[in-house]
Amino acid sequence: MAEAASSHNVPYYKHVFVLVVSWVDDDLGVLEEEAIPLAQVFRDKYNYQVEHFLLPLAQPEAVFHQFFKERLSAILCSPDNLLILYYSGHGSKGSSGLIWGPGNEGHEKAYEEYLYPPTIRWNKFQERFIDPARADVVLMIDSCHSGAAPSASLAATLLASPEQANFPDLPPLNNHHRVEVLASCGKDSLALAPGRRSFSHSLIKELKSRAKTGAPFTASELLFAIIPRLKAQDKKWIWQKKSVPPLFLRVCGDPDIPSIELRVMERREDNYEDEDDTLVEKKGFWTRVFRTC
């Protein structure tokens, strides 16, 4: 096996897997406005392997963890791989950080039918799957309070706003892989709804533009290129009191090495099913919704 891409001794990752996550209960119109368009850009323009996971209302945290363990554990085990995880939907801030959830109707339906809160606690997910990973990970989160995503394991920050001062002293860096977050707003801020003014809209536009050039770019460069696009869409929004410009966070990894690099890959008609590929089975574009029995 070639030496890990994250060591910067090889030109790029062997596999890039994109997981797009949104809710079955889609009161924001995320599916048509953001999830599908972004997934298509990564699949068609960058030739990445892409799946979309719909979070159910019934025990979503247990179902999502089950799916992630069964589907993505092998990907996260190799330093030759890159995982891009994108989430668009509602977000709130709890005592332990960011919480994903459906809209109000979804919450009410879940309580009535399942007697269980339909939420995903980000800190639990990060501790179980992201922190121990060997692969590099880019998290793209478009939700209110998305800047609260990194949990107590946060090891370094490279931010584009005054939120930088809000983080306390941090533990030593975890250098065996890099995890970086592109957050649509600060931890105490509100994100804009899907549409031409949203973070995801500008993200999709920027990814399309960079795919045309074919030149590699880093996750941090991508984030900082999105901010001018947002300002151009709405010059007043970026300075509103409840809004903070998108953030770039280095969650773990040696701060002296560059940000994670993205680039267009060569198209592979076999969908990664080569002689030594046991990462994922060949499925359609959309991932099925996991349901509890």
Question: How many independent structural domains does the chain possess?
Answer: 1
How confident is the model at residue 70, as a pLDDT?
86
pLDDT above 60 for 79: yes
Question: How far is 39 from 72, CA to CA, in rounded Å?
Answer: 17
pLDDT at position 240, please?
55
Tell which wins on pLDDT, 187 or 137: 137
pTM, two decimal places: 0.81
Is residue 270 a part of any domain in this protein?
no
Across the chain, mean pLDDT equals: 76
- Work out the pLDDT band at 116, boundaries 50, 70, 90: low
Assess whether pLDDT exceeds 80 at residue 110: no
Asked if residue 284 belongs to a domain, the reply is: no
The pLDDT assigned to 233 comes to 73
Question: Is residue 105 in some structural domain?
Answer: yes
Residue with tokens 């994903």: 100
Any residues with CB less than 8 A from the CB of 36 and at least 6 apart, and which? 52
Q: Which of 270, 291, 292, 290 is nearest to 281 (CA)?
A: 270
Q: Please give the pLDDT value at position 228.
A: 87
Burial 250-262 (b: 16+ CB within 10 A, else e): bbbbbeeeebbbb
Can you list the alpha helix ranges (DSSP code H) found in the chain? 30, 36-40, 60-76, 104-114, 122-125, 199-213, 219-233
Lowest mean per-residue pLDDT among 18-22, 235-239, 272-276, 281-285: 281-285
Q: How far is CA 57 from CA 117, 126, 289, in A?
A: 8, 21, 10
Question: Is residue 289 included in any domain, yes or no?
Answer: no
Query: Which tokens is 181 given?
Result: 């977050």
Does residue 88 sit within a domain?
yes
Q: What is the CATH number of the domain that holds 142?
A: 3.40.50.1460
Give CA–CA dist 74/97, Å, rounded.
Answer: 27
**Is the residue at 72 inside a domain?**
yes
Residue at 57 is within a domain: yes
Does some domain include residue 5?
A: no
Domain coverage including residue 226? 12-262
